[in-house]
Amino acid sequence: MLNESIINLEQKNIFAKVTEKISEFRKKHPEADIVSLGIGDVSRPIPQTSIEAMHRAVDDLATMENFKGYGAYYGYDFLKEKILENDYRDFNFSKDEVYISNGAKTDTTSILELFDINSKICIADPMYPIYRDGARCLNRNIYVLEALEKNDFVLQIPKEKYDIIYICSPNNPIGIAYTYDDLKKWVDYALKNNSIILYDNVYESFITSNNVPHSIYEITGAKNVAIEFRSFSKKASFTGVRCSYYIIPNEIDNGINFAWKKRTINRFNGADYIAQRGAEATYTNEAKIEIKENIKYYMDNANSLRMCFKNLGFKVWGGIDSPFIWVKIKEGITSWEIFEKYLSDINVVIIPGVIFGINGDSYFRVSALGNNEVINKAIERLKKYYEKNN
């Protein structure tokens, strides 16, 4: 007997339909020069310092003196120390509260195993669809809270009590970030209702606004209610290497880290040693410079995309604290219809907003993580298209 919830997931994979449609189009029009604004992957390489560290880590495995095998179920101390010194210096966490893993995609769903199976889980619509589909696979009780344009897609505090709330900030797909004020309301809600906030902060390094916290723990009381997730994927181009981390504060519950370690030792044999050495090296001064340059590269793209759509008369969100830009369709058609239109008329790929939830169907997402030349090409085509069609 298979898990019905997996069988009933709407699609094999949320982006599979986009890929399928592009290949169908390519078959019919092999000459088309398709450019993508949809890409969620990075287009800059891993910092050289991390590459060198990973080469050394491979060499470690060649002698039993330096070999690393089983054992570091929750991550190596060398990486936890760097994370605490650099990302969480002001919050007085211990290494016991830090976990290294192989991706925030996995982590943001796996963490549900820590909580009662009957917990009421609140997710946004639109949202990063993995929260919804991951929770469904585990047969959890999901409740959808609408993120609406009139609130700039920031989730508003509900009247009902939920046990677990997913907050993604800086956000994918909307590209906005929660301010200190927005987050304080949620932390206060969680404190009052004994809820847990699962705070997906994988785009932290893209934050530029002063009124956006770099960690939820900057909000008073957050240590009692929030688990924060981060990743090296977008920051340091580890999308293929795989390394992430998260914090479970002891303040949430006296036994929380004891319980989670029991679970983890039974479910996970630890993140890759080579990846962790590469991740450790992202905290060197040299790598920090390279990362800063890469982020600037993406955010310059984001600015060009924002300005392009704005100048063409679209309403846009994001692109200031996140590499994503959320665009309102001005033609009054659905997000799949605009996808088809751009693909056939100008060979430009965007991501239909409905992929992120039904409330996303009047919007589409573009990503600034792509190659600069490709993005500029798409911008030129969009400009020409609207010059003709406006």
Q: Which residues bind ligand PLP (CB under 6 A)?
A: 40, 103-105, 128, 168, 172, 200, 202, 231, 233, 239, 244
Cβ neighbors of 34 (< 8 A, separation 6 or more) are 22, 25, 26, 343, 347, 348, 349
Strand partners, 98: 247
Element containing residue 144 per DSSP (H, E) = strand 141-146
Residue 256 has a CB neighbour count (10 Å cut-off) of: 17
Q: How far is CA 252 from CA 74, 109, 183, 226, 350, in A?
A: 19, 19, 17, 8, 40
Smallest distance from the beta carbon of 204 to ligand PLP, in angstroms?
11
| Of residues 119 and 239, the one with the C-beta less far from ligand PLP | 239
- Least Å from the CB of residue 105 to ligand PLP: 3
3-state secondary structure of 12: coil
Minimum CB distance to ligand PLP smaller for 279 or for 346: 279
Question: Cβ closer to ligand PLP: 168 or 379?
Answer: 168
Task: Give whichever of 46 and 382 is closer to ligand PLP, judged by the CB atom.
Answer: 46
- Measured from the CB of residue 104, what is the shortest distance to ligand PLP in angstroms? 4
Beta carbon of residue 346, minimum distance to ligand PLP (angstroms, whole number): 26
Cβ nearer to ligand PLP, comparing 72 with 104: 104
CB-CB contact of 54 with 63 (8 Å): no
* Shortest CB 284 distance to ligand PLP, Å: 21
Q: How far is the CB of 103 from ligand PLP (least distance, A)?
A: 3
Give min distance, CB of 212 to ligand PLP, in A. Answer: 15
**171 vs 29: CA distance, rounded Å:** 35
SS (H, E, C) 154-216: CCCCCCCCCCEEEEECCCCCCCCCCCHHHHHHHHHHHHHHCCEEEEECCCHHHCCCCCCCCCH
22 or 39, CB closer to ligand PLP?
39
Q: Work out how close the CB of 234 gets to ligand PLP at its nearest, in angstroms, rounded to a whole number.
A: 7
Long-range contacts of 1-10 (CB under 8 A, 24+ apart): 3/137, 3/139, 5/136, 5/137, 5/138, 5/139, 6/136, 6/137, 8/136, 9/133, 9/136, 9/137
- Buried/exposed code over 360-377 (b: 16+ C-beta within 10 A; e: otherwise): bbbbbbbbbbbbeebbeb
Q: Are 228 and 247 in contact (CB under 8 A)?
A: yes
Other beta carbons less than 10 A from residue 299's beta carbon? 18
State which residue has the least CB distance to ligand PLP.
103
Nearest to 344 by CA among 336, 332, 333, 356: 336
Nearer to ligand PLP, 235 or 306 (CB): 235
CB of 388 to ligand PLP, least distance (A): 34
Q: Which is nearer to ligand PLP, 131 or 347 (CB)?
A: 131
Nearer to ligand PLP, 302 or 382 (CB): 302
